[in-house]
Amino acid sequence: MKLIDVHPADGVAGKSTEDVMLGYQQLVRGAITRGKFRDSLEHPKAMSSGQVTRVDVSLPDAYHTFRRGHRIMVQVQSSWFPLFDRNPQTFVDIYQATAGDFRRATHRVCHSSTIELSVLLAMDISSDQAR
């Protein structure tokens, strides 16, 4: 899972240093939770095809400011290769996987998914107004 700060796609070129970042997607935090370890690291459990399965992913804290006009993007994916090893999509020990163990897979994130973010409001000391 990735938490991304999406910079605005519109602006006036040459007006600020921010303009070179138009539309840029800045990674704020990312974490990997293997589905088979969703309940326990000691007792991996396979997922069942076609069955909705709850998976909780915790991202490390980040002190990041999403500036006005920016959007928050969350990406859920089954691979972050080449940063991390490929997921064979089969219930095997990844480090012992052979070429035949790797399968194509389709993943769905259910519409009832919940994303919780903690928000700190910054105070403008000169005017005592939250921004």
What global pTM score does this model have?
Answer: 0.72
| pLDDT for position 123 | 64
Each residue's pLDDT tens digit, 100-120:
999 988 888 887 667 777 777
Other beta carbons within 10 angstroms of residue 55's beta carbon come to 15
Each residue's pLDDT tens digit, 38-70:
999 999 999 888 888 888 888 888 888 888 889
Q: How far apart are CA 53 and CA 33, in angstroms?
A: 13
| pLDDT for position 115 | 74
Each residue's pLDDT tens digit, 63-105:
888 888 899 998 888 788 888 888 888 889 888 999 999 998 8
Other beta carbons within 10 angstroms of residue 12's beta carbon come to 8
On whether the CB atoms of residues 74 and 1 are closer than 8 A, the answer is yes
Q: How far apart are CA 65 and CA 79, in angstroms?
A: 27
Assign 19 to helix, strand or coil.
Answer: helix
CA dihedral 18, 24, 25, 27 (to 10 degrees): -50
Q: How confident is the model at residue 5 (pLDDT cuts 50, 70, 90)?
A: very high
What average pLDDT does the segment 19-24 reach?
80
